[in-house]
Amino acid sequence: MNFKRSFLIASLAVFFLGAAAAFGADKFDFDPMHTQIGFGVKHLVISTVKGKFNEFTGTILYDSSDITKSSVSLTLKTASINTGVEMRDNDLRSPNFFDAAKYPEITFQSSRIEKKDDGFVAVGALNMHGVSKEVAIPFTVSDKIKDPRGKERFGVEGTLTLDRRDWGLTWDKRIESGGLVVGNEVRIELSVEAVKG
């Protein structure tokens, strides 16, 4: 990611965080002990390999009176990918896939939150593998509660299906039947517990 792009992303993040604060939003941080950023992708067409990212940070500026005035930002460390198999994880970190040495982070910054049916949609820029594309993440939100220590918390759950080729993750190998060794569609599963900072 070049300097101009990094500066633009940082400037946008400051703008949206500041705008949300102006609406009276409260700052909540992802609780890493109770949050999972997971994914699933087809292997040989017949099964789904699941994994997660072990290292991440996230912030939600949350306006409970009008959730559409909220915002969310997320940063994942690509080298922290974990599917439970060391050889496969090393391949995913390599230039075949994420190229973690060159692209150490995946980021998402919302530009707006929209109401949709019984839930919401976070629309924003997903930056991965040197490519930035707008995505829309459907999600639901739980009611706020107070934990045993008196801290406010709430939960967010969302899913998103991506085509990895849209972000330049194009490694491909076919089996005799014509199917792919690694599927192109990746299902992202978010289970977030956020705690007031």
Nearest to 169 by CA among 94, 115, 101, 70: 94
CB atoms within 10 A of CB 194: 26
Alpha carbon distance 196, 153 (integer Å):
6
Tokens at residue 87, please?
């050889």
Please say whether the beta carbons of 143 and 134 come within 8 A.
Answer: no
Domain limits, the chain? 3-196
Each of the 197 residues of the chain gets a pLDDT tens digit; together they read 554 555 455 445 544 444 444 456 899 999 999 999 998 877 555 667 888 999 999 999 999 889 999 999 999 999 999 988 898 899 889 998 889 999 999 999 999 999 998 899 999 999 999 999 999 999 999 999 999 899 999 999 999 999 888 888 775 754 445 444 566 778 899 999 999 97
Instruction: Give the separation between CA 31 and CA 35, rounded to whole angstroms.
Output: 6
Q: Does domain 3-196 have CATH number 3.60.10.10?
A: no
